[in-house]
Amino acid sequence: MGVVNVTPDSFSDGGHFLDTERAIAHGRQLLADGADILDVGGESTRPGATRPLVGEELDRVVPVIEALAADGALVSVDTMRAEVAAAALAAGARIVNDVSGGLADPEILGVVAGSSATYVAMHWRAHSDRMQQFTSYDGPVAAVVAEELSARVAAIRAAGIADERVVLDPGIGFAKTRDQNWELLGGIGRVQELGFPVLVGASRKRFLGELLAGADGNPRPVDERELAHAAIVALLASAGIWAFRVHDVRATCDVLATVARIERER
């Protein structure tokens, strides 16, 4: 799943693809690099980010989705808003990637239920401007995340979305400390035990930069974290992860091809 951030403030590439034509070109390049899905988002969810107006988000994502879907791409819309999800599906998106799992805007579940779209529900506790105030977990992080995702599955089912259209995301970096992210990745099997495909989005995130911090204690810059992310992909690919949400599609595809080739010999 290649990331197409049509935002001015995303942590990795904010502003690089805010222009519609540049975003479309970027999406096409990600497809050429091997992406299976393009995830188009118009709202940054980096820690501390403030939300755009609904109209701003619509203006950012709808033209990009229309163009990429017209190319034949499998497009996902990264949104927490029912109105944006509805417009994106009308524009050709076939996946709704909701980082709030329906908590930010419960009406989004009805929008998806009334379509044939796949729904990605991420583990989420609060909006980006305050999510790091909610990092207290009463028990092992992976177990608590699985329990809270299970509650979202109940709501998703109640809304009329069939299980075969549901994907779960453990929410790496969302309402989690550095160490909790590592604990969650190590215990990802607890989330898989819920019986749904799992999406992992760890690409370039701060906990990788902190792991690779220099002698001065400053995190490794965002664009110098790819090898650490590649190690995560290599380890989890063999565990049956459904998809990885990534910025560097080519590097990730190289890792997946290598893992697959080794697996053939086992």
Residue 129's pLDDT is 84
Which phi and psi (to 5°) does residue 237 adopt?
Answer: -60, -40
Give pLDDT tens digits for 148-158: 999 999 999 99
Out of 190, 205, 220, 225, which one is annotated catalytic?
205
pLDDT at position 2: 97
- What residue spans define the domains of the chain? 1-75, 76-264
Of 245, 250, 264, 266, the catalytic one is 245
Predicted pLDDT of residue 14? 52
- The CA distances from residue 56 to 51, 61, 104, 207, in Å, are 10, 9, 18, 30
Question: Which top CATH class is 76-264?
Answer: alpha beta
- What integer pLDDT is reported at residue 18 of this predicted model? 74
Q: How far apart are CA 263 and CA 243, in angstroms?
A: 17
Q: Is 245 a catalytic residue?
A: yes
Q: What is the per-residue pLDDT for 41?
A: 95
pLDDT of residue 237: 95
With beta carbons less than 8 A apart as the criterion, state whether 62 and 87 touch: yes
* Relative orientation angle of helices 20-33 and 54-70, to the nearest 10 degrees: 50
Kind of pairing, strands 2-5 and 38-41? parallel
Which pLDDT does position 49 carry in this prediction?
78
Residues of the chain with pLDDT under 70: 9-17
